[in-house]
Amino acid sequence: MKVIKRDGHMVDWCPEKIEIAIEKANKEVEEEDQASSTQIKNIVKYIERLNKKRILVEDIQDIIEMKLMSIGKYNLAKKYITYRYTRELVRRSNTTDLAIKELIDGENEYWNTENSNKNAKVVTTQRDYLAGITSTDITRRFLLPEDIVSAHDDGIIHFHDADYFAQNALHNCDLINLEDMLQNGTNINGVMIEKPHRFLTAMTIATQLITAVSSSQYGGCTITLTHLAPFVRDSYNRYLDKYKGRKFKKEECEKYAKEDLKKEITDGVQTFQYQINSMTTTNGQAPFLSVCMYLGETEEYKDELAMIIEEVLRQRIQGMKNEKGVYITPAFPKLLYVLEEDNIKEDSKYYYLTELACECTAKRMVPDYISEKIMKESKIDKNGNGNCYPCMGCRSFLTPYVDENGKPKYYGRFNQGVVTINLVDVALSSDKDFDTFWKIFEERLELCHRALQIRHKRLSKATSDVAPILWQHGALARLEKGESIHDLLHNGYSTISLGYAGLYECVKFMTGHSHTDNGKGKEFGLEVMQKMNDKCKEWKEMEKIDYSVYGTPIESTTYKFAKCLKDRFGIIKGITDRDYITNSYHVPVFEEIDAFTKLKLESEFQKLSPGGAISYIETPNLTNNLDAVMEVIKFIYDNIMYAELNTKSDYCQECGYAGEILIDDKLEWYCPNCGNRDHDKLNVARRTCGYIGTNFWNKGRTQEIKERVIHIDNKDSEE
């Protein structure tokens, strides 16, 4: 017999649950009013003798109440009714108190591993989570319709960042217009910040602006070093004037000015790096920051930009000191290095920077690489021109946009938010029938569409007053006080994202093949991706809102989706038998494939994920084989828009071991040298999704990390 639950899902009949429920009611009445164990078993047998294939859970409860009263247990029946009503309240009402208690007591696995860059033990992080629990509760009870909440709970879709949704002014991620704020002045907390006149000051102000912006949003943000390059020249001219004033010869003036400038650049980059990693936003963490290094953004200040890029790379190669004073890999900022004609060829002027980037990637997992050539082929604006620009945060990309002057605009734009569809659930719900699949897929996409419309409508209520640093003082706009941000949500200025997860499992279940297999598997995978793009185009034309397909990182949601799939469909070999599902369009982590084949294949799917995507290869330690790293970098330039190399960068504080920290069969991290398992004494850095995580992960993500295969042969790396 199958029991149909309130949400429509079917589970196996479990008589023990009936017995437990009546026994709980028994404890609330006098002994003479209690039902005996025999009477309870007779009620269970009565239900079983009905011989129903399916029965509603509400009907079962009605029968229990009726049978208790028929044997004269009226007080017990009342208590059971009260128990039933209380359970209903627990299901439907505010569970905030319990969540808060579990957070504060450190008892909840979800909060302890929700974000690999947040430490739930720290009071600033707890304060953010406390607010998030309240926001989530308000969102569920008042702001979202019941069917969307139910679909989210069941892992059919994921309504992202419900812990920030109660505040209608918060958006997802952006490209900060640092140029506007530095060149034209800005304002932080009512304090005017005037244009700086030297590089060190500009770098210091930049960290303050980044922290202020990050505190007014919930996603990642990106700046470009190009906006800081003019201040390098300002500093050089100041030093030059100083030595000229001392009557030095021209050659001496230039020599000493360059020496002073070099030290200031070193100090400025160091200040930036330390402040970004030591400051805490209102989200209870360091700013989720990416830094773009793109020589092609300027001709006038290209040499100055190259000087900053060089120093950023050198300091990242060195790393930052941990509690023991040992240099380790920091999580932030993420570095984005754009590959272009000026730096990809050995005889090009700035190839030395790419060599530094190569060394940095081998040791510290950054920078990640954007191919200017490939990006310009896919990001075509309305004037027919190719565009190249960084992602917002770790992977979210804007659509091309041309301003009223006919010029492309990237910085000062943003993303409104994400709702993700679980493609695996669509496949399993269809039971391999393709007609049913496309019908369910259409319904689920429209469910995501309605959820995204709710996000958009809530954000559209905001005025510039809610976050002056964003909307009034240049980070994203220069609106007047009280002015609506509504216009910035339409006609391509900002984007809104239809996320997706589990393409591999979806294709595997429906076709029996991986989407990496040429033929039916790959064809079906591309068809699914195209369908999502077609829907986004349809919605965009109707509403003048830039919907865009986004390869969701699902850091903690991968575990949630996997658990929900098991609950709904049981264990299906190769599909639901792990504690995670595959991110976006990625080749599954356990599939044997070489680096170049993987990147080439994923480039086809990346083109169909214009709202955000990143590909990676998993590597052994390549610090002694930079030729292999450079070969991959050059391959990225010619074949894929955005990719990264995942190396290993760990440290054990107990014994000083600096090799790879391992994961055992119970998914526990340990030092292979001394056996240390204390997370507080292990420095582990892994690419979680796009960002580097350093605070460990939930069970599902840990299993995914453990099962990652190497895409570059170990022997090749040692040659």
Contact 548, 495 (CB under 8 A): yes
Distances (CA, A) of 575 to 405, 481, 556: 51, 53, 18
Catalytic residue of the set 394, 510, 529, 689: 394
Q: Which two tokens stand for residue 331?
A: 């999580």
Catalytic residue of the set 132, 220, 393, 690: 690
Catalytic residue of the set 26, 115, 135, 172: 172
Kindly tell me the burial class for residue 382, based on how many C-beta atoms sit within 10 Å of its own C-beta (0-12, 13-18, 19 or more). exposed
Q: Which two tokens stand for residue 468?
A: 């002056």
Catalytic residue of the set 264, 555, 602, 618: 555
Contact 553, 532 (CB under 8 A): no
Active site residue 392: yes
Contact 509, 210 (CB under 8 A): no
Contact 374, 640 (CB under 8 A): yes
| Rounded Cα gap, residues 670 and 652, in angstroms | 9
Q: Which two tokens stand for residue 93?
A: 């009402």
Amino acid identity at 358: C
Q: Which two tokens stand for residue 21?
A: 């429920």
Question: Strand 186-188 and strand 191-193: pairing?
Answer: antiparallel
Active site residue 396: yes
| Rounded Cα gap, residues 605 and 594, in angstroms | 17
Helix (H) or strand (E) holding 663: strand 662-663
Q: How many CB atoms sit inside 10 A of residue 16's CB?
A: 8
Contact 719, 625 (CB under 8 A): yes
| Rounded Cα gap, residues 268 and 255, in angstroms | 20
Catalytic residue of the set 108, 387, 415, 615: 415
Active site residue 555: yes
Amino acid identity at 447: L
Cis peptide before 333 (omega within 30 of 0): yes
Catalytic residue of the set 218, 401, 550, 559: 550
Catalytic residue of the set 392, 510, 671, 689: 392
Active site residue 655: no
| Rounded Cα gap, residues 621 and 617, in angstroms | 13
Question: 3-class SS at 293?
Answer: strand
Beta strand ranges found along 488-594 (DSSP E): 495-501, 546-551
243: Cβ contacts below 8 Å, ≥ 6 apart: 252, 253, 256, 257
Helix (H) or strand (E) holding 244: helix 229-245
Active site residue 690: yes
25: Cβ contacts below 8 Å, ≥ 6 apart: 76, 79, 80, 82, 83
What are the beta bridge partners of residue 10?
A: 4
Active site residue 483: no
Contact 686, 644 (CB under 8 A): no
Distances (CA, A) of 496 to 242, 443, 451, 563: 51, 19, 11, 27
Dihedral sign, Cα of residue 601, residue 499, residue 364, residue 338:
positive
Catalytic residue of the set 26, 396, 533, 615: 396
| Rounded Cα gap, residues 213 and 130, in angstroms | 21
| Rounded Cα gap, residues 319 and 300, in angstroms | 31
Helix (H) or strand (E) holding 617: strand 615-618
| Rounded Cα gap, residues 354 and 89, in angstroms | 60
**Helical packing angle, 423-430 and 434-459, nearest 10°:** 150
Catalytic residue of the set 129, 173, 411, 510: 173
Report the b/e string of 318-349 with b at 16+ CB within 10 A.
Answer: ebbebeeeeebbbbbbbbbbbbbebbbeeeee
Active site residue 550: yes
Q: What is the DSSP letter of 140?
A: I
CA atoms within 13 Å, Cβ hemisphere of 340: 19
Catalytic residues: 172-173, 392, 394, 396, 415, 550, 555, 690
